[in-house]
Chains A and B, each alone.
Chain A
Amino acid sequence: MDINRELIDGCIRGQRASQDALYKKFSSLLFGICLRYARNRMEAQDVLQEVFVKVYNNIGSYNNEGSFEGWLRRIAVNTSITNYRKNLKHAYQADVDELIRTNDEPMHFEDLEFTAEEMMLCIENLPSGYKTVFNLYVVEGFMHKEISDMLGIDVNTSKSQLSRAKTYLQRELKNIATVKIKEHV
């Protein structure tokens, strides 16, 4: 916490060394958040850069209430949502047909272990709208009402998109699990 405080004070004074240290320490974590919301890695890089610019410019407004990491996470999520809303016109594209075909028998995932990379691969392949709702609800822990306010959509839309995202994700994970089982055997 003291290290964070020193970094924060350095960043408030505009010291480049402190800014670089802060970047080194938190860039991976924030890049992971950006990747979950972005359509590809390039877009995630752009969002990450915007996140750090916002952090450096507004770090003086951080009052020690709550964890600094949580504050950074919140900025990353908000910036990602802003980016998502900016690209909203292109967000929902041909995603319904893909999800109608998910009538397979449900798989017992509790017996399977998935790495973060595998999980991330499946999340990345989600349609943009589903991915955003899924991340906000499952990973960030927001409620449907909050999500509907943040994204400017109806609560029921949020619920239906979460359901579809879950189905889509389970299907993708099942495919990965099938491949893993075959490799194991």
Chain B
Amino acid sequence: MSEDRFYNQVRSTMANYQPEVPASAYSGMRKKLWWSNFTKMSATRFNVWYLAILVTGAAVALNLSSETPVNEAIVVEQSTQSAETAQPVLEAANAAPAVLLSNESQCSTKNAPSERNSNGHAKQISNETASTGQTVAEETSVGSSDAQQVSNATEVNTEKESQQPTSGGAKRGLKVKTYTDGQQKK
């Protein structure tokens, strides 16, 4: 048998060979076709590119929305910290004049050490007031006006409240004056 005749025999036999296709091939083909369409760029139908844009947009929106409250919280927190820093100073400053005004008549040599202590404590606190007010003003970069307000508030409150009597725990003391920015101790 010649080579060509054998080849012709195979060719003629196989030319119209059409085996039965398994049913599962169709469903698999449909899935592959869907995936192919889904991953292909097309403006007319929803595909992976639209999905990517949606996911990216959602991520950016989420990121932005989560960043904004944080910034606001930082500013609020800084303001609160400034106010809180000033608060104990004001209380301490209140205590000393209160002693001075309420217990002035009862002042005696027996209580001198405590007076000195109270006086010294008040002085120390007043110094802290000055330095703290300055620090707050320096640290608050965005809200420098806020810091200035806090500093001014500290000064005003200190001056006002230093004249008000309180029934606090301080026994007695000398008149206290606090110093803030721009003021020199006379």
* In the complex, number of A-B residue pairs with CB atoms less than 8 Å apart: 85
A139 near B19 with CB under 8 A, answer: no
B14 near A53 with CB under 8 A, answer: no
CB of B20 within 8 A of chain A?
yes
One digit per residue, 1 when the CB lies within 8 angstroms of any chain B CB and 0 when it does not, for chain A 154-174 equals: 000000000000100110000
Q: Which residue of B lies closest to A27 (CB)?
A: B21
A contact patch SS: helix
Inter-chain contacts of A116 with B (CB < 8 A): 13-14, 16-17
Residues A45 and B33 in contact in the complex (CB < 8 Å), given A109-B6, A166-B6 = no
CB of B182 within 8 A of chain A?
no
Tell me the smallest distance from the CB of A154 to a CB of chain B, in Å: 21
CB of A183 within 8 A of chain B?
no
A115 to B14, CA, bound (A): 9
B32 near A139 with CB under 8 A, answer: no
Inter-chain contacts of A166 with B (CB < 8 A): 3, 6-7
Inter-chain contacts of A144 with B (CB < 8 A): none
A166 to B11, CA, bound (A): 13
CB of B29 within 8 A of chain A?
yes
A139 to B26, CA, bound (A): 26
B6 near A35 with CB under 8 A, answer: no
CB of B9 within 8 A of chain A?
yes
Q: Which residue of B lies closest to A106 (CB)?
A: B1
B15 near A31 with CB under 8 A, answer: no
Inter-chain contacts of A17 with B (CB < 8 A): none
A57 near B7 with CB under 8 A, answer: no
Which of B10, B11, B19 touches A28 (beta carbons < 8 Å)?
B19
Best-surrounded residue of B1, B10, B15, B40 (most CB of chain A within 10 A): B10
A29 near B18 with CB under 8 A, answer: yes
A31 near B33 with CB under 8 A, answer: no
A132 to B17, CA, bound (A): 17
B33 near A28 with CB under 8 A, answer: no
Best-surrounded residue of B3, B16, B19 (most CB of chain A within 10 A): B19
Residues A139 and B22 in contact in the complex (CB < 8 Å), given A32-B17, A106-B1, A109-B1 = no
Inter-chain contacts of A115 with B (CB < 8 A): 13
Residues A48 and B10 in contact in the complex (CB < 8 Å), given A35-B19, A166-B3 = no
Q: Which residue of B lies closest to A41 (CB)?
A: B22
A23 near B14 with CB under 8 A, answer: no
Interface residues of B in 84-128 (CB under 8 A from A): none
B24 near A36 with CB under 8 A, answer: no
Inter-chain contacts of A110 with B (CB < 8 A): 1, 5, 9
Inter-chain contacts of B29 with A (CB < 8 A): 23, 48-49, 52-53
CB of A119 within 8 A of chain B?
yes
Tell me the smallest distance from the CB of A9 to a CB of chain B, in Å: 18
21 A–B contacts, CB within 8 A, in A order: A23-B26, A23-B29, A28-B19, A29-B18, A31-B18, A32-B17, A36-B17, A45-B21, A45-B25, A56-B33, A106-B1, A108-B1, A114-B9, A116-B13, A116-B14, A119-B17, A123-B14, A138-B10, A138-B11, A141-B11, A169-B10
Hey, which bits of chain B sit against chain A, CB under 8 A? Answer: 1, 3, 5-7, 9-11, 13-22, 24-26, 28-29, 32-33, 36, 40
Hey, which bits of chain A sit against chain B, CB under 8 A? Answer: 19, 23, 27-29, 31-32, 35-36, 41, 45-46, 48-50, 52-53, 56-57, 106-110, 114-116, 119-120, 123, 137-139, 141, 166, 169-170
